[in-house]
Structure 1
């Protein structure tokens, strides 16, 4: 039985470039460049109005829309942009009706009629049938002019045609349409040969550029190597920040896996073998390039390489000056999407370049600021602030500059815990979002500040919105994964952590968090696998500590001690060593390392998220030093109680207070806070089951009830994990 055809009511769009055949005869390179420019314009505008690009026909474009209103709006915008460009003109014809969709192409009477309407237009016009005119008649803002009835070639009925009359469109006269019809009838061979020649030349040029691969059919993924600096030492900030900007823009195309800058900046050696890069990043293409400083601008050379076949699939050289420099990254992101045959959604098209400036001086200041920001020290951050404020003075609508100022204030707050820094950060992200309400970077900056302020729900909402606008936003994905983990949503955390690894395989935190989650779930083989992957990226003491804890849960004290020895070889890690020895019941060693940690706190001003004073006080109590233990516990209790009263929502503070009251043998208060910790997301029961502080409470029915709820939830999580999701990525 023949399959039913895929028919849908649609509005068909045809356009072509006026005078393209003559240009092709004079200068093929110029004609090809114009064709690419026209294609980029159509891709951008079609995405904004839910149009689907079907194919390019030499100098022509065939597209379809779900509604005539969208089609007419897109046509008007395309003609406006052509008018602004001033170096080429288009004819546009529209017809609506039932269209057959088959293997990426479209067929039907509406397709034929739209093509014929376009062929009799005049330059700069938009012409459509009576049917389209009727479908847009109730839409305010459209002005139309009736041109009358016409008999078009290969159309078996007379058509009433209308022209869109909105400025700056050209409005055909009836005599113009009739003249074009008569020309086609007198010279049909010229018309056919011209179209055939364009199609053949287009095919030849595309073959030469893409080496025979007209459509990219492999995995859509790209790693952008840091651009080489050909402009001198003082120009080094520009290629680095430009690389990051370009990665950020390509990442906004959800169908293209784009490796984060945090990973790619580690591949700074210009001679690194591409297969080595691909081995780490698991991508099908690599973009490499160089940036040279010119007297009035920059020259950028780019190559997109098919890694499997070790050949270029796209090369280009750009010279950009003035206002063209800030736009460069956006143009290239769209070009990469085109080469990889990735379709942009309407939202993705609007996200590319969102929040950017047209002021080249302000743009340059932001690039310098981003380079300084990553030193993270106070002097660099204050210099970053000054550069960003100057960029904002030059362009008060520079939303990304406000976003980076928000990040700068957040980092200052992280360095010096003080709510005033976070207030400034939130004020700047709010300003960015007032300018650009759908700015993914603005929501991510807001989320980071809320997270440090303990407003976890608000932080989760902000990161969730950021990833909805930019599904490949590596930083926001990683933060959202951490929040899901902290709130006890382990399945969601696993999914996001693995996506974070795909986008940033050189970051150690996603591997560490996956190891922690699988440890909680009791899958120790998986846990150690991910811990080792984390340690390959960074020999972090916390990863060693979590690995040691996993071995202790398995009953392997010897391997836990081996983990401790690994930390001893690092320049820091006293806290982690103290806890490993604490759980091994080696009290003297634990006291030694905890004492070194507490020596760093001036005058007992403990940070709200440290737990070391609690374990240290317990050991002092065991040693008979009750006075000092009581003094420390009073101080840390006040710090954590105040934090909860200020609205901090995470489970860590509640779990610490439960531990404090367990040290003080006040079981009711301990169980109250343990219940709060569970409600807020605490699931790692090792920290009570293997903690000597809770030894006297494990027979308490309230404790058993809480642990029972945790175990029941973990059982549900384990059963929900499919076998495929339990398999390691090797």
Structure 2
């Protein structure tokens, strides 16, 4: 259950300074000081009696207590001190009931009733509801008098009120309260200045139409908070999470609405700070909050769309659904959100919303359960197999459930990641193919195929699949990030930068887009910007690759000591294999060869027993260190093994530049210049643009004097200059 949104029984406390507006008119500074004195007194007794001061409401105070006795004791002490002070007076009203605590605020009918009870009191009085009175012990020490029932504004039923009579409190007469109620119902201002009010309202309407449109009307963006499970049964959390993800998916199909990805919002379920701080983190203008309540025959869903800048509701609604009607709920809500935000849907967006969904409620539920296991599988890979079983059951119930096939394709891909030698990749492609047979324009199906082709190194196929997915679903965050990675690997840095920026906007708490944006800036020689992006990435996740790339950036800038300081973040233990590789890499390029040798020797010795992976590059530069130590036999053995593994992968269709760049480095260490230059050219042709890895690698010392090497590096520098010119031109266009 969300930590930021909790429902419980509480006593709600409201107080208000009597006549504050009149005091402000006489002495603004003095009135402001009284408000500060009032707050100080409240804080003292709330702390003493274990209350929680929620917020100031101008000259009023809203708070809550768990204990009715403590609430009464605090109220009496507050009134006593303020009466003794003699500078101002307050009235206090309290009620108890079920309220919702949400990101530092409280909501519920009990809050409204407490406010109304306070408003009808008299100076120096404390009024409480019958419900709160009944919560007090029978032998209560508190002196009270019953005043009877009253019809309060915006409260459906009569409210029975009691007044505390403990000296020196003022005890209101029933007539006093009735007069206050009548005054609220018949505000004399509307008769005295009716024409002025009408004129003012007209002015405000005209202003709002022509000049004062809300921020969200100009910047249509929404963060969907994980739905709150009102049942209190944690076994229902899978359903609320699944519904949240589905809804985010459907809203994000509307290109004109920026929608934060589910992978990001899942991290904000325990957000306890105010919503405006959430908006600053995510860069959105609205927040959608929802709750799910389990009924005997279905569910009740309550939704609230909030304008963050003005802290007010734009839209609220309630839905009750059961059976097959539940499966289409997220589509209906997505269309309602589009209507509220005045987002015009294209014909394709109308088609995409709800595409691939089922009308079978049981199959729909199984998919939600499978998704929960899928996400937990990143911590425990065995859960991917359990997720797959649930998805297969969903498909048995509805053989036309295209999204179930897509999720099964994604699940098989994750299994393949840990077992690349199995047939899981083929099975994943088979499932996504079935999804696309059912729904030829299903973006999620193309995206699922794209990631498989990417992992198989088939960039051309992967790019085609991902671009097709985005043509139907422009904000599909997974496809955006994966396509950005491919564009980078193919040397298309501008396209990669644009996509990574969009990916960061949709998932602002994911470190990877920031890491890649930083790497692109490093390649372009924009080191100050690169370091800032690396720091932003590392603030989110202490990822080893971010440390490695930042270390390369610092070394390239001549800041060797700063690069070596990064090693403090990379503890070298047997369980942190990647730390060992990265630490050795930073030491190697910082020319700390003895230290690099000691670190890498651990990694190579450990991995040689299990066999080297095609993307494991540590043995290559380690071999250079071996040769410098005179151990050419071991060096050549490692280099020959690495060359064979990587060339075999190239022959199998892996299209990235990393493999030929590694082969080129290996041949350079073996002093086979022709082969080294051949594969270096292949690496360039495939998209290699970060010349740091040859210009700062001692293995290329002799090759740097070769004109053919200089030509390749010269071409890279020319490409980078052209990209920088385009970036400058684009920036100038934006500034105009």
With normalisation by structure 2, the TM-score equals 0.69
Match of 2:725 among 701, 719, 729: 719
Structure 1 residues 26-48: Cα deviation after superposition (integer angstroms, max 9, x where no partner): xxxxxxxxxxxxxxxxxxxxxxx
Match of 1:230 in 2: 230
| Alignment check: 8 A CA contact 2:369 2:390 kept | yes
Match of 1:639 in 2: 645
Separation in 1, partners of 2:733, 2:531: 13
Separation in 1, partners of 2:397, 2:501: 41
The Cα shift of 1:490 comes to 0.5
Match of 1:220 in 2: 220
| Alignment check: 8 A CA contact 2:230 2:291 kept | yes
- 1:598 match: secondary structure: helix
| Alignment check: 8 A CA contact 2:302 2:319 kept | yes
The Cα shift of 1:592 comes to 2.3
Q: Is 1:454 aligned with 2:460?
A: no
Separation in 2, partners of 1:310, 1:235: 30
Match of 2:118 in 1: none
Separation in 2, partners of 1:245, 1:569: 41
Separation in 1, partners of 2:599, 2:393: 47
Match of 1:703 in 2: 709
- 2:705 match: secondary structure: coil
Separation in 2, partners of 1:725, 1:410: 40
Structure 2's unaligned 5+ residue stretches are 1-204
Q: Is 1:414 aligned with 2:417?
A: yes
Map 1:48-87; keep pairs closer than 5 Å: none
Separation in 2, partners of 1:728, 1:380: 48
Structure 1 residues 20-65: Cα deviation after superposition (integer angstroms, max 9, x where no partner): xxxxxxxxxxxxxxxxxxxxxxxxxxxxxxxxxxxxxxxxxxxxxx
| Alignment check: 8 A CA contact 1:326 1:360 kept | yes
Match of 2:686 in 1: 680
The Cα shift of 1:310 comes to 0.5
Q: Is 1:667 aligned with 2:670?
A: no
Separation in 1, partners of 2:733, 2:534: 15
The Cα shift of 1:333 comes to 0.5
Match of 1:389 in 2: 392
- 1:236 match: secondary structure: helix
Separation in 2, partners of 1:728, 1:227: 38
| Alignment check: 8 A CA contact 2:216 2:307 kept | no
Match of 1:606 in 2: 612
The Cα shift of 1:266 comes to 1.1
The Cα shift of 1:434 comes to 0.7
- 2:247 match: secondary structure: helix
How large is the Cα RMSD of the aligned pairs?
A: 2.3
Match of 1:531 among 530, 534, 537: 534
Q: Is 1:622 aligned with 2:628?
A: yes
Separation in 2, partners of 1:598, 1:535: 27
Q: Is 1:472 aligned with 2:475?
A: yes
- 1:555 match: secondary structure: coil
Separation in 1, partners of 2:595, 2:239: 50
Match of 1:540 among 536, 543, 547: 543
Match of 1:242 in 2: 243
| Alignment check: 8 A CA contact 1:292 1:299 kept | yes
Match of 2:130 in 1: none
Q: Is 1:522 aligned with 2:525?
A: yes
CA separation of 1:643 and 1:419: change in aligned 2, threshold 3 A: farther
Q: Is 1:432 aligned with 2:435?
A: yes
The Cα shift of 1:215 comes to 12
- 2:355 match: secondary structure: coil
The Cα shift of 1:301 comes to 1.1
CA separation of 1:602 and 1:674: change in aligned 2, threshold 3 A: closer
Structure 1's unaligned 5+ residue stretches are 1-206
Separation in 1, partners of 2:607, 2:391: 34
Match of 2:353 in 1: 352
Separation in 2, partners of 1:265, 1:254: 22
Separation in 1, partners of 2:540, 2:734: 17
Match of 1:654 among 643, 656, 660: 660
| Alignment check: 8 A CA contact 1:300 1:319 kept | yes
| Alignment check: 8 A CA contact 2:291 2:303 kept | yes
Separation in 1, partners of 2:625, 2:289: 57
| Alignment check: 8 A CA contact 2:658 2:683 kept | yes
The Cα shift of 1:253 comes to 0.2
Map 1:274-293; keep pairs closer than 5 Å: 274-293=275-294
| Alignment check: 8 A CA contact 1:548 1:564 kept | no
Match of 1:443 in 2: 446
Separation in 1, partners of 2:282, 2:655: 36
- 2:315 match: secondary structure: strand
Separation in 2, partners of 1:256, 1:582: 47
With normalisation by structure 1, the TM-score equals 0.69
Structure 1 residues 588-629: Cα deviation after superposition (integer angstroms, max 9, x where no partner): 221222223234426251111111111112211211222222
| Alignment check: 8 A CA contact 1:658 1:669 kept | yes
Match of 2:336 in 1: 335
CA separation of 1:286 and 1:214: change in aligned 2, threshold 3 A: closer
- 1:364 match: secondary structure: helix
Match of 1:505 in 2: 508
| Alignment check: 8 A CA contact 1:263 1:506 kept | yes
| Alignment check: 8 A CA contact 1:218 1:284 kept | no
| Alignment check: 8 A CA contact 2:215 2:285 kept | no
The Cα shift of 1:418 comes to 2.2
Structure 1 residues 323-343: Cα deviation after superposition (integer angstroms, max 9, x where no partner): 011101110000000000000
The Cα shift of 1:725 comes to 4.0
Match of 2:256 in 1: 255
Aligned residue pairs: how many?
Answer: 521
| Alignment check: 8 A CA contact 1:604 1:632 kept | no
- 1:698 match: secondary structure: helix
Separation in 2, partners of 1:675, 1:218: 49
Structure 1 residues 63-83: Cα deviation after superposition (integer angstroms, max 9, x where no partner): xxxxxxxxxxxxxxxxxxxxx
Separation in 2, partners of 1:393, 1:462: 27
